[in-house]
Amino acid sequence: MSERTSYAPGTFSWTDLSTTDQEGAKQFYGELFGWDADDQPVGDGMTYSMMNIGGKPVAGISAQNEMQRQAGAPPAWNSYVTVESADASADRASKLGATVIAPPFDVMDVGRMAVIQDQQGAFFMVWEPKLHIGASIVNAPGALSWNELATVDLDSSAAFYSELFGWQADLIEDMPFPYRVIQNNGAGNGGMRPAGDNEPTYWLVYFGTDDIDASLAKVAELGGTKLMGPMDIGMGKIGVAVDPQGAVFALFAGDFDG
């Protein structure tokens, strides 16, 4: 189990789910991953559910906000990248051609963030940590283990994020399709691939599991749907599923990068 007390700028550090059924999602993922929910009030009768393993936060679950509901946005897992300054990162993203959906704002005393949409349409968050550094456990069963961009323009996406975060995104040789592995200051930090037919541009969140076959079977048992897998990728096996509310997520079983 890999514990974290801080993240270098440019590192994926947190994920949360915006959903149409917060209680249903808490039950689904709680049973799938063994998460415990710590519901924290965030105003106007709303709560933010910190999902924990052994008392340590690994992800969040919240109800969709009003803008998402009015737009009919599907439930989705969000990817957060730690930055030194949410304001500076949002400004740079805008200058690089992205759209700042939600300008930088304080999340009480736990951090400062902004919501950004890249040129191809993928949403992501920048996170300037204060009291909340992000996930306390990663690269373990039930914890965030990978973030992968599906994009309609692989080269443009690689150039944008490299300019924004200083990532290196080199093509992997001998793959059946182009795949770029993201390096942040020499550390593995996710991947990028071409979007499939009728697939949107989005960041896919992977969670670890020690038994992918059992996890995919559990997804179906709990009312979700397996979309793909298990697929052997050499270093392990992956699968993609959708929860009962419609949020897509992925699973990884194999050698975790500490």
Q: For 162-174, how does the pLDDT look when each residue is reduced to its tens digit (9 = 90+)?
A: 999 999 998 887 7
> Tokens in use for 180?
């770029």
pLDDT value, residue 172: 85
What's the pTM? 0.95
- Residue 42: band (very low, low, confident or very high) from pLDDT cuts 50, 70, 90: confident
> Tokens in use for 195?
């979007």
Spell out the domains of the chain, with CATH numbers in brackets: 2-129 (3.10.180.10), 139-254 (3.10.180.10)
For the cut 60, the answer to whether the pLDDT of residue 125 exceeds it is yes
255 closest CA partner among 237, 240, 236, 238? 236
- Find how far residue 106's CA is from the centre of its chain: 20
CA distances from 231 to 45, 181, 236 (A): 42, 18, 8
CA distances from 200 to 137, 195, 210 (A): 29, 7, 29
- Residue 176: band (very low, low, confident or very high) from pLDDT cuts 50, 70, 90: confident
Buried b (16+ CB within 10 A) or exposed e, 183-218: bbeeeebbbbbbbeeeeebbbbbbbbbeebeebbeb
Q: For 54-73, how does the pLDDT look when each residue is reduced to its tens digit (9 = 90+)?
A: 999 999 999 988 777 887 78
Q: For 98-120, how does the pLDDT look when each residue is reduced to its tens digit (9 = 90+)?
A: 999 999 999 999 999 999 999 99
Average pLDDT of the chain to the nearest whole number: 94
- CA dist 113 and 196 (Å) reads 30
The mean pLDDT of 15-22, rounded to a whole number, is 96
- Three-state DSSP class for 85? coil
- Residue 258: band (very low, low, confident or very high) from pLDDT cuts 50, 70, 90: low
- Look at 185 and 88; give whichever has higher pLDDT: 88
Contact 112, 105 (CB under 8 A): yes
**């699968």: which residue's tokens?**
239
Neighbouring C-beta atoms of residue 88, cutoff 10 Å: 13
Neighbouring C-beta atoms of residue 103, cutoff 10 Å: 13
As a whole-number percent, the residues of the chain with pLDDT over 90 amount to 81
The mean pLDDT of 209-230, rounded to a whole number, is 96
